[in-house]
Structure 1
Amino acid sequence: MHLGILTGGGDVPGLNAAIKAVTEQAAARGWSVTGLRRGWAGPLNIDPDNPETVNDWTLALTPDVVRDVDRAGGTFLHTSRTKPSATAVKDLPQHLRGKFAGEAEDKKVDCTDHVLRVLEHLKLDVLVAIGGDDTLSYASRLHAEGAPTMCIPKTMDNDVFGTDYCIGFSTCVNRGVELITRLRSPADSHERVMVVEMFGRYSGESALITGYLAGVDRILIAEVPFDSDKVARLLAEDRARNPQHYAVIVVSEGAHFEGGSIVESGPADAYGHRKLGGIGQDVGEVIKRHGINVMNQNLAYLLRAGMPDAMDLMVGRNFGTMAVQLLDEGKRGLMMAIEDGRYTTQPADISTKGRRLVDVDMFYDPDQYRARIKRVEGLPMFLK
């Protein structure tokens, strides 16, 4: 069997562990593996009539090639937010421009027929796609159109529908707790309110769990609009009660004021997402109006940087291993998943069926803007 593998969307720690596991498990069965570089940009940029493009956009993977890749974060195959089914004409590789001659430069066109041709040209029996719901939704489309795929979920937001856990989440939380603990020093020294912004476009789980474990004073999540003046008053009370005279609030990047909307900037990417970030600054400005000095810190890429923790090494490796084991059993069109603490699978298109959000009633107090775990007994280790 000949497998292809790619990583799409934002990088997270643990991707390389999954790539390594797929490669080693395939090699043990006498199969070959080809890595497609830069996510879906790989097959989009390959011209079957030009061998040089194949060399530029693919990498033959063997146990020797992947021997030590899991010691580093990110993805050594590189990644992109390319969407072959909605690529602007101006962003097409030269060999595809002629097909859409006369179209407006900004018009988005569907090149899925080209991607299918490339996968056939590479003689790939199955493509393993590692990514969030955007990457995996396109993989499920390819499967529906006759190119078998297997999907592995990753995202620091932990919001892919159909699984309780995605590669990258544990490292995000671990790193977030560590950084917030360090940030207490300047907040304490200057007696300020520290506003920490974290990932979470639609789901506030990474901010909620990080804030819960770091013991912060307040948490704003994407699922619950907030009263900015009330938040400022609560933080003023938190700061006054603290003998060290400081307070800390964690803000999900998708959080928004009551009656407001998510803070975004710049043009939309191929999946329709604009760049998030800035709500932490806005919250800080409101707090300042209440006469309190503020420090703002957006953790951003610091949460992605560096090697994965043990949990993401384990889940990345196990998802990759499980994908190959299931292929060996003749199964196709599945997404690796964890449900109630156990490894399982879902249909490849599960990520298109809904959106995984925080269970506010179970895990959050929307009146006090704090984590509130109603009942721990019976929950899986990472809650849900």
Structure 2
Amino acid sequence: MRLGILTGGGDVPGLNPCIRAVVLAADDRGWQVLGFRRGWQGLLDIDPDDPVSVAANTVDLNRERVRGLDRLGGTILHTSRCDPRTAAGGDRTAHVTHVLERLGIDVMITLGGDGTLRFSAHLDSIGVPVISIPKTMDNDVNGTDYCIGFSTAVTRSVAAINALRTTTESHERIAVIELFGRRSGETALLSGFLAQVDRTVIAEVPADLDVLLPLLARDKATNPANYAVLVVSEGAGLVGGAAADMSGSATTRNDGGVGHRIARAIEAAGGGGTVVQELAYLMRAGEPDALDRMVGLAFGALAVQLIERRETGRMVTLTSGNYCHVPADSVLEGAKHVDVERLYDREQYRARLKSVEGMPMFLY
């Protein structure tokens, strides 16, 4: 058996432990693993008749090559945001299947978010054996409660939010901290909840500045240290597109992200100075935390076990705290979002846990 493996989309901590688990489990069975560099782009760049292009875009993975890999962040296979169906020159799915056939790949294991796994589902639909492994710090892949990278992103965010309290308090300002999360506010919601910030704006609920700004002003005024902290998803909207064209400093910045727009609105309303911070790539930098190591290792092992049972066309998942698997095309049914009614107070812009009993560990 010869397996192929790739990582696509944004990198997250936990990918390398998963790669290691796949390689070790395959080696125990006497199977080979070929890693493709730079996600689907690596396959597009391969000419199977050109050994140089094959060598430049693949790497043979064995026990020695993955030694210590579980301790490293990012992905040793590197990554790209590429869907072969929308490549320059048109749909190149046929090229991908040709490369896989010529290189003798029996099953592809793909680690990625919504975009990467949608193409995996497409390959499955045309008969290419695939196992999908969900990863994204936004935790928004449909069909699974948990994606590799989510825990580390939350851990990094909570640490950074709490560190920023010192400078926010020292200058008696309102901190506006923007986190990644274009379609889902799960990372912002959980990070804000664990850091116990004053308010959190998520992607699922547009913020009304006429409501939010007075709340923040009250938070600051009633805090003996005279500061407040707001966490906001990068994909959050403002009611009516408010503040979209606001000028002003936002502490001398003119960036157009929602965090900066809210900060400018705070200052324009007389709320005093702001501390604006986009955590961005720091959320997924560095080594994985304990949970992402564990999930990465478990997802990789489960992928190989499914292949051994000849159960391909599946995506490995965590559902209600249990390792499971679902059809690979589950990702096509939409994106996963925060359960607003159960977990969020849209009037107060805060996490709200109506009932904890019976909930999975990550509240989702």
**TM-score when scaled to structure 2?**
0.95
Q: Distance in 2 between matches of 1:49 and 1:306?
A: 38
**Is the aligned partner of 1:349 residue 2:329?**
yes
2:264 corresponds to which of 281, 285, 293:
285
Matched, 1:376 2:331: no
Judge conservation of contact 1:336–1:346 (CA < 8 Å) in 2.
yes
- Name the structure 2 match of 1:18: 18
2:231 aligned partner, one-letter code? V
1:259 paired residue number: 240
Number of residues of Structure 1 aligned to a counterpart in Structure 2: 353
Name the residue aligned to 1:56.
56
Q: Per-residue deviation at 1:289?
A: 1.1
Q: Displacement of 1:329 after TM fit? A: 1.1
- Structure 1 residues 178-221: Cα deviation after superposition (integer angstroms, max 9, x where no partner): 01010000000000000000011111000000000000000000
Distance in 2 of aligned mates of 1:146 and 1:163: 23
CA distance in 1, matches of 2:68, 2:147: 22
1:215-237 Cα offsets, whole Å, 9 max, x none, are: 00000000001111321111000
Alpha-carbon separation, structure 2, partners of 1:260 and 1:131? 32
Q: Check whether the contact 1:216–1:249 (CA below 8 A) recurs between aligned residues.
A: yes
Contact 1:41 1:80 (8 Å CA) reproduced: yes
What SS does structure 2 have at the residue aligned with 1:250? strand
1:362 aligns with 2:336: no
Structure 1 residue 277 displacement after superposition:
7.1
Deviation at 1:259, TM superposition (A): 2.5
What is the aligned partner in structure 2 of residue 330 from structure 1?
310
Unaligned runs of 5+ residues in structure 2 are 245-254
Q: Which residue of 2 aligns with 1:140?
A: 121
Partner of 1:86: 86
- Tell me the residue number matched to 2:249: none
Separation in structure 1 between the aligned mates of residue 60 and residue 124 of structure 2, nearest angstrom: 23
Deviation of the 1:260 alpha carbon: 2.8
Structure 1 contact 8–80 (Cα < 8 Å) conserved? yes
**d(CA) in 2 for partners of 1:47, 1:244:** 63
Q: How far is the alpha carbon of 1:308 from its aligned partner? A: 0.3
**Which secondary structure state, in structure 1, belongs to the residue aligned with residue 306 of structure 2?**
helix
Partner SS for 1:88: coil
Report the Cα distance in structure 1 between the residues aligned to 2:349 and 2:146, rounded to whole angstroms: 24
* 1:253–1:277 CA contact under 8 A, matched in 2: no
* Structure-2 separation of matches of 1:176 and 1:127: 33
Q: Could you say which residue in structure 2 is the equivalent of 1:294?
A: 274
User: Structure 2 counterpart of 1:278, which letter?
Assistant: G
Q: Is the 8 A contact 1:198 1:253 kept in 2?
A: yes
What does residue 321 of structure 1 align with?
Answer: 301
Q: CA deviation at 1:165?
A: 0.2
| One of 169, 172, 175 as aligned partner of 1:191 | 172
SS in 2 for 1:259: helix
- Give the secondary-structure state (helix, strand or coil) at the position aligned to 1:40: helix
How far has the Cα of 1:290 moved from its partner?
A: 1.8
Contact preservation (8 Å) 1:198, 1:207: yes
Given that 1:20 and 1:69 are in contact with CA atoms closer than 8 Å, whether structure 2 keeps it comes out as yes
What are the residue-to-residue correspondences of 1:45-124 with 2, within 5 Å?
Answer: 45-89=45-89, 109-124=90-105
Q: CA-atom RMSD, angstroms?
A: 1.4
Matched, 1:308 2:284: no
1:226 counterpart = 2:207: yes
Deviations along 1:161-192, one digit per CA (max 9) or x if unpaired, are 00000000000111111010100000000000
Alpha-carbon distance in structure 2 between the residues aligned to 1:170 and 1:127:
26
How far is the alpha carbon of 1:69 from its aligned partner?
1.7
Structure 2 residue identity aligned to 1:187: T
Alignment of 1:153-168 (within 5 A): 153-168=134-149
Q: Which one is further off, 227-236 or 201-210?
A: 227-236
CA distance in 2, matches of 1:43, 1:32: 18
For 1:83 and 1:67, how far apart are their aligned partners in 2?
31
Return 307-316 or 352-361, whichever deviates more.
352-361
TM-score after normalising by structure 1:
0.90
Any idea what SS the aligned residue of 2:191 has?
A: helix
Query: Quick one: structure 1 residues 277 and 362, their matched pair in 2 at CA, closer, same or farther if it must change by over 3 Å?
Result: farther
CA distance in 2, matches of 1:378, 1:84: 42
Q: Provide Cα deviations, 1:218-264, integer angstroms capped at 9, x if missing partner.
A: 00000001111321111000000000000000000000101239x9x
In 1, the alpha carbon distance for the partners of 2:92 and 2:312 equals: 23
